[in-house]
Chains A and B, each alone.
Chain A
Amino acid sequence: MISPMPCSHYIIRKQYFLRGVCMTVMRKFWSKHTIIAAISAAALTLSGCAASNALNEEEDAPAADTSDTVKVGVLHSLSGTMAISEVSLRDAELMAIEEINAEGGVLGKQIEPVVEDGASDWPTFAEKAKKLLQKDKVATVFGGWTSASRKAMLPVFEQNNGLLWYPVQYEGMESSPNIFYTGATTNQQIVPSVTWLLENKGKSFFLIGSDYVFPRTANKEIKAQLKAEGGTLVGEEYTPLGHTDYSTLISKIKEEKPEVIYNTLNGDSNVAFFKQLKDAGITADDITVLSVSIAEEEIRGIGTDILTGHYAAWNYFQTTDTPENEKFVAAYKEAYGDDRVTGDPIEAAYNAVYLWAAAVEKAESFDVDAVKEAAGGIEFKAPGGTVTIDGDNQHTYKTVRVGEIQADGQFKEVWNSGEPVKPDPYLETYPWAEGLN
């Protein structure tokens, strides 16, 4: 789970703030009662606004077994703060569906996407998932980005025996029988990148992250790994989501003089951190920064001049050199515009559709249990290299890549794992990880 969860944060801030303002004003004017009414009215405004601009929402059409189409759900945030990231995933999934339909569909049926808007709001995700499963009777759902949205949908899929394809790298420690994880788990991104840094960039680490579950979980794992592999930890700092002043944190970094900064900051904070790091006179030559939430899309918003020379760990880059990727990037740009860039979660979302279609073909059925049964071992020649579904934990084997950010905003791959890495969401094969969960 990489991306910001600023939505909840944002609402909390506004409400907190309202309370602050109200306190002052209250002294002068109002009773508590009016203020509660005002806050709830305001909250309504907020959610109303988020729901009103849902894109592409399709209402239910009659479902019938005899029809020559099969319905699948596409459930991402098309409005609200998370729309920044999730709209691209919807685009990639719709593109894959279109491609499969052009080739004749699945089991002779055309795939009919039912697009819903999760509106960056976790209960909405659960509600829309329920609607897709119970009312639209979709064969499967592709959706989610934040871990919070996945956790909200999980019980719905388990109760209704539905099928969810979740396309974003996340913190691991989960394996639901009703979810397929096509993004990386920790041992396919963070663990190998730490090993690479230790071997190539230095032993002393400074960990910085946004203050919530993903960075704290990830850093717990990194600390255990550093201990086991001979690294030293010189500092560990967390800042609230949306934090914009990094001067003090940077002077702490200067004091500790680490060789490597491992960055799990999320969202806008990255912009402030990198700008101010450069101003303080620290360049990529002095200290290597490796990030896990900066993909091609984010680089454009931070500014390439500031990021050049720093690193990121992913399973796919737009520059990954495979014939499949060449085709994928060209098709994506053709469909959505030349200025669009692809990236790791976008590729994972695209793969998810193909993996599901292949599993259905193998099962010769759209039935959830049959598809799950057939899914193990399914292979797909993805843009980022071959991916294979692991039948045991429903994650995928993925190739790990470390890339250096170039002046044109793209990555130059400096290392990859050579072969797809077996997913290990609970880090069971790493002795140092014992006792972490």
Chain B
Amino acid sequence: MAVVITQLFNGISLGSILLLIALGLAITFGLMNVINMAHGEFIMAGAYTTYVVQQAFSHYIPASLFNYYYVAAIPLSFLIGALLGFVLEKTLIRFLYHRPLDSLLATWGVSLILQQVARSIFGAPNVAVTAPTWLDGGLTIAGAVLPYKRLFIIALVTICMVSLYLYLDKTAAGRKMRAVTMNRSMASSLGVSTKKVDATAFAIGSGLAGIAGCALTVLGPIGSTIGTYYIVDAFMIVILGGIGSLIGTVFGALSVGMLGTIAEFWSGASMAKVIVFVAIIAFLQFKPAGLLSARTRSLE
């Protein structure tokens, strides 16, 4: 029984982690159609931001407040990610909106540059982040231990999801963003500044990658190449969920998470990866548009 609960929870937890890394990409790739290979490096930037905040807290802030560094790190990671994204959009991406292949290569170059920059600043070896003590331990239900860190990530991704939904659906800026992604020229002719919207959207997507990086520090390694571990999965999920559909991304992440953990439990980690990829490829053969595809009236 404990195993069933644990595995069910692991599936949801893996899904939530995948969703967190894919959420930003769902905007930049899903909504804006920009293939941003540097997305993984924004995750890395978020992780290093967390490390820097932790170092700053341990040096300049009284020890009793150390545990709260993580609370400060989350918004800061978002800001750093968003700032990097904003700069990238303004200096590079906006010239390449109609040349997706070029943007793929250019952003790949950017990803290599960012990795090297990180290596120069922080050194090549991994750095360690000590998770705040209030995230230590776990909740015990019927013999199964649900680590607080994983529960926290599930909560964090839920908050991100809800805020994103509210932003896109309830605010003027969000509605403009949706208008531009649905029909650029129509939105433009109605007076929406598409340039501004593009920059904002890209910054938000990158900021979400920063938050993902911050969250991942409690579970995984922090080094210059961590972005590369997550980026394949992130693209896979956005494509599986259906390009242009945020809800699709949620379902995509959860199904990959569940399938991955079940397959790993019955076989092994390497085999599970194969099974998941085969399943995704097979699925896309029958439903090339993904789980949920956004309906638009634009002519392509």
Binding site for B on A (CB under 8 A): 6, 10, 13-14, 16-18, 20-22, 24-25, 27-30, 34-35, 38, 41-42, 45-46, 49, 53, 81, 83-84, 87, 211, 237-240, 242-245, 247-249, 251-252, 254-255, 268-272, 275-276, 279-281, 297-298, 300-305
Contact = CB atoms under 8 A, between A and B. Distances in A.
A245 B100 CA distance: 32
A240 B112 contact: no
5 closest Cβ pairs, A-B complex:
A301-B126, A271-B221, A279-B147, A303-B128, A239-B269
Interface in B120-171: 124-131, 136-138, 145, 147-150
B229 A268 contact: yes
A249 B149 CA distance: 17
Contacts of B125: 84, 297-298, 300-301
B236 interface: yes
Contacts of B138: 279-281
Nearest to A49: B112
B35 A251 contact: no
B264 A13 contact: no
Contacts of B150: 247, 279
Given A245-B14, A268-B223, A305-B130, A38 B104 contact: yes
A415 B272 CA distance: 39
Interface of B is mostly: helix
B194 interface: no
Contacts of A303: 128-130
A255 B128 CA distance: 30
Nearest to A272: B220
Interface centre among A45, A247, A252 (most CB of B within 10 A): A247
A424 B124 CA distance: 34
A255 B14 contact: no
Contacts, number: 159
Contacts of A24: 239, 243
A102 B74 CA distance: 53
Interface string B163-195: 000000000000000000000000000000000
Contacts of A281: 137-138, 145
Interface stretch (B3-11, B65-73, B196-204): B3-11
B206 interface: no
Contacts of B129: 303
B126 A271 contact: yes
A49 B117 CA distance: 12
B232 A268 contact: no
A245 B109 CA distance: 28
A14 B248 CA distance: 25
Contacts of B101: 25, 29-30, 34-35, 38
Interface centre among B105, B222, B231, B269 (most CB of A within 10 A): B269
A45 B18 CA distance: 29
B108 A42 contact: yes
B90 interface: no
B270 interface: yes
Nearest to A7: B225
A372 B73 CA distance: 58
Nearest to A86: B124
Contacts of B264: 248-249
Contacts of B225: 6, 10, 81, 268
B238 to A, nearest CB: 9
Contacts of B104: 18, 21-22, 25, 38
B229 A242 contact: yes
20 contacts: A10-B225, A13-B232, A17-B231, A20-B235, A25-B35, A34-B101, A38-B104, A49-B112, A87-B124, A242-B229, A244-B216, A244-B229, A247-B150, A251-B3, A254-B6, A271-B126, A272-B221, A279-B150, A301-B126, A303-B130
Contact of B128 (A247, A279, A297, A301): A301
Contacts of B105: 38, 41-42, 45
Given A6-B225, A21-B235, A247 B130 contact: no
Contacts of B93: none
A304 B14 CA distance: 26
Contacts of A81: 225
Contacts of A46: 112
B3 A28 contact: no
A301 to B, nearest CB: 3
Contacts of A34: 101
A90 to B, nearest CB: 13
B214 to A, nearest CB: 15
A259 B259 CA distance: 30
Interface in B77-131: 100-101, 104-105, 108-109, 112, 116, 124-131
A20 B35 CA distance: 12
Contact of A268 (B136, B220, B235): B220
A173 B100 CA distance: 49
B128 A300 contact: yes
Given A22-B104, A245-B260, A276-B147, 6 more contacts: A20-B235, A21-B235, A268-B221, A276-B219, A279-B137, A279-B219
A242 to B, nearest CB: 5
Interface string B222-266: 110110111110011001000100000000000000001100110
B170 to A, nearest CB: 31
A25 B29 CA distance: 11
B20 interface: no
A252 B265 contact: yes
B39 to A, nearest CB: 11
A272 B131 CA distance: 13
